[in-house]
Amino acid sequence: MKLISTILLISAMASSSVIFDFKSNSNLNKWKVVDDTVMGGRSQGNLILNEEKNGVFFGTVSTENYGGFSSIRYNGEAVSTKDKTHVLLRVKGDGKSYQFRIKNENSLRYSFITEFKTSGKWETIRLSLADFYPSFRGRKLDKPNFNHSEIEEIAFLIGNKKNESFKLIIESITLD
């Protein structure tokens, strides 16, 4: 039985494409924190590596001064979505809701987004690419959902319209 489980795990890993894995890539240079301070807000987010080599996105969200969000963005090499239908997030959250955002072109002004809620435990969250809808500055756009052949940018965002601290531990982001 253990051999079958190992074979299934290896097979599943072979079919997925890694977008970013903090354990195998400790270089945070292509990650950027973007908070509501770009428009006068007072939120503050950070991204660090912990001792286990996981990314830790943490900070505070403030609605003061018309603010209310913190995010981290990663601009890496384009990753093909051909034959892929889902994004898998290996995370440990704080029980709060977050957005995961993707762009097929870095130069787009809008992102394709979906929301997920964390449980406070380590979990693999499976997000359907077909469910990512186009949004710009919190408004859903009258455009089709994500249906592109690659991803050039990913982002995590917290903006639950309230003052709160947050912590999201991220192990990896893959396509399946």
What's the average model confidence in pLDDT over 77-99?
Answer: 97
Pick the more confident residue, 14 or 8.
14
Q: What is the predicted pLDDT for the residue at 160?
A: 96
pLDDT for the residue 38: 85
pLDDT per position as a tens digit, 30-86: 999 999 998 899 999 999 999 999 999 999 999 999 999 999 999 989 999 999 999
Distance between CA atoms of 72 and 157, rounded to whole angstroms?
Answer: 7
Q: List Cα–Cα distances, 20 to 24, 77, 89, 172, in angstroms.
A: 9, 10, 10, 6
Query: If you write DSSP's letter for every residue of 54-81 in order, what string do you get?
Result: -EEEEEEE--GGG---EEEEEEEEEEE-
Q: Which element (helix H / strand E) includes 14?
A: helix 2-15
**pLDDT confidence band for 15 (50 / 70 / 90):** low
Distance, CA of 106 to CA of 120 (rounded, Å): 31
Q: What is the mean pLDDT of the chain?
A: 92
CA angle 147, 57, 127 (to 5 degrees): 25
Whether the per-residue pLDDT at 25 is higher than 50: the answer is: yes
Number of other CB atoms surrounding residue 79 within 10 Å: 19
Q: How much is the average pLDDT of 112-137? A: 98
At residue 16, the pLDDT reads 79
Query: At residue 17, does pLDDT exceed 70?
Result: yes
Is residue 33 within 8 Å of residue 45, measured between CB atoms?
yes
Closest by alpha carbon to 157, among 98, 113, 92?
Answer: 98
Report the distance separating Cα 137 and Cα 39, nearest Å.
11
Mean pLDDT for the stretch of residues 132-157: 97
All domains of the chain, ordered by start, with CATH? 2-175 (2.60.120.430)
Q: Which of 7-11, 33-37, 56-60, 167-171 has the lowest mean pLDDT?
A: 7-11
Task: Tell me the mean pLDDT in the region 98-107.
Answer: 97
Q: How would residue 11 be classed by pLDDT, with cut points 50, 70 and 90?
A: very low
